[in-house]
């Protein structure tokens, strides 16, 4: 077996560019073709294609060939990396989840 690097590209880097976040927002609403996505941006279509590639490598989207189109589909699972990282800081906020966590923790202990 060849040692093919299977490490997904960094999700944090992938979402660091505003255009890519906009793309994810678009795709979270519905699947779109590359051309349809490009229609939402000022930049050239190849530039959009390159951004999509980065999202693809990060595992944040998948592509499905459909005739001569490529339809992109949002994959939320990879965002859990960010989610989990943020969870480290939950204790700094005081929202529902936080209170819930405390409550449950107390119950578990008793």
Residue 108 binding a copy of itself, by CB under 8 A: yes
Residue 55 binding DNA, by CB under 7 A: no
Q: Which long-range contacts (CB under 8 A, 24 or more apart) does 69-76 make?
A: 69/33, 69/34, 69/35, 70/33, 70/34, 71/31, 71/32, 71/33, 72/27, 72/31, 72/32, 72/33, 72/34, 72/37, 73/27, 73/31, 74/24, 74/27, 74/28, 74/31, 76/28
Q: Which of these segments, 36-44, 47-55, 61-69, 87-95, binds a copy of itself (CB under 8 A)? A: 87-95
Residue 43 binding a copy of itself, by CB under 8 A: no
Residue 64 binding DNA, by CB under 7 A: no
In the stretch 80-99, what mask flags binding to DNA with x, by CB under 7 A? --------------------
Residue 24 binding DNA, by CB under 7 A: no
Pairwise CA distance, residues 84 & 103, whole Å: 20
Residue 75 binding DNA, by CB under 7 A: no
Residues near DNA (CB under 7 A):
13, 16-17, 19, 33-36, 38, 42-54, 63, 65, 67-70
């Amino acid at each position: 077996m060849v040692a093919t690097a299977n490490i997904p590209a960094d999700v944090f880097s992938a979402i660091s560019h505003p255009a890519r976040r906009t793309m994810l927002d678009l795709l979270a609403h519905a699947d779109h073709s590359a051309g349809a996505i490009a229609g939402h941006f000022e930049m050239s279509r190849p530039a959009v294609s390159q951004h999509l590639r980065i999202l693809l490598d990060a595992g944040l989207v998948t592509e499905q060939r459909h005739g001569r189109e490529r339809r992109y589909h949002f994959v939320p699972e990879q965002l859990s990396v960010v989610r989990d990282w943020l969870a480290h800081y939950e204790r700094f906020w005081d929202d529902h989840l936080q209170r819930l966590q405390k409550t449950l923790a107390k119950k578990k202990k008793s």
